[in-house]
Amino acid sequence: MRIDRPELWLGGRKGTTPELRLDTDRTHIIPLTLPPRTSAQAVLTWKVTGLSSNPDTGALSVHQPGIGDGELKEALLLDDTSRVWLTGWVPA
């Protein structure tokens, strides 16, 4: 299976909440092909930079095509003013 950059957005529904903008200087995703029954990991890092302009954020939704979806809910950790970056995939 080939994995690439996941789709990330704030909130629980794609298309109705903002896409999470990744820091392009720190995000370096190179596609990785995984053999059957193996896994990989990437690390998401964020730094809150100010007050949120959208009080309804508080969930990070993730979609990796071909694998599935996930969600992190924590109102105080991440908002639409955060600087966010993602490390490249590493086989786990």
Give tens-digit pLDDT for 49-71: 766 655 555 688 899 988 889 98
CB 3 within 8 A of CB 89: yes
- The 10s digit of each residue's pLDDT in 7-41 is 998 877 777 777 888 899 999 899 999 999 999 99
CB 1 within 8 A of CB 37: no
Residue of higher predicted confidence among 48 and 91: 91
31 class by beta-carbon count within 10 Å (0-12 exposed, 13-18 middle, 19+ buried): exposed
pTM of the model: 0.76
